[in-house]
């Protein structure tokens, strides 16, 4: 069976500090991978998606970036965090076929102070 992991689970960072969030998927190969952000009391905002190693599509221009160094690893980064980067970050995957179900990780709660 497939599982998706995210870490860390919770992170408190000062404004201006760097960020690295990691997501890994087990039990499948060549998945599509997604990063979402959920601000408090709001819906989901798609940040990035990837259909293969090294292939990143950005949905919202901002101070975040994503990388996919390995087939089942997806990393969300920032060089300098802003207060507005606080939120709940969710990673998801699907099998890459059209209209496939997406499966979500447990999320990382980020608080920027």
Partner 1 sequence: GNSVTQMEGPVTLSEEAFLTINCTYTATGYPSLFWYVQYPGEGLQLLLKATKADDKGSNKGFEATYRKETTSFHLEKGSVQVSDSAVYFCALSDRGNQGGKLIFGQGTELSVKP
For residues 103 and 23, the answer to whether their CB atoms sit within 8 Å is no
Residue 24's contacts (CB-CB under 8 Å, 6 or more residues apart) are 4, 5, 72, 73, 74
Binding test (CB under 8 A) with partner 1, winner from 12, 51, 53, 113: 51
What is the distance in angstroms between the CA of the first residue and the CA of the last residue of the chain? 38
102 contributes a contact to partner 1 by CB under 8 A: yes
| 58 makes contact with partner 1 (CB under 8 A) | no
Cβ-based nearer residue to partner 1, 26 or 82? 26
Residues that bind partner 1 (CB under 8 A): 32, 34, 42-44, 46, 49, 51, 57, 90, 92, 94, 96-107, 109
């Amino acid at each position: 069976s497939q599982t998706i992991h995210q870490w860390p689970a919770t992170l408190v960072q000062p404004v201006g500090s760097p960020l690295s969030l990691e997501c890994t998927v087990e039990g499948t190969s060549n998945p599509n991978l997604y990063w979402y952000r959920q601000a408090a009391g709001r819906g989901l905002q798609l940040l990035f998606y990837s259909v293969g190693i090294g292939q990143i599509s950005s949905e919202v221009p901002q101070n975040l970036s994503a990388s996919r160094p390995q087939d089942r690893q997806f990393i969300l980064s920032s060089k300098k965090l802003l207060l507005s980067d606080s939120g709940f970050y969710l990673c998801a995957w699907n099998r890459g076929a059209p209209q496939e179900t997406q499966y979500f990780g447990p999320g990382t709660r980020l608080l920027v102070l």
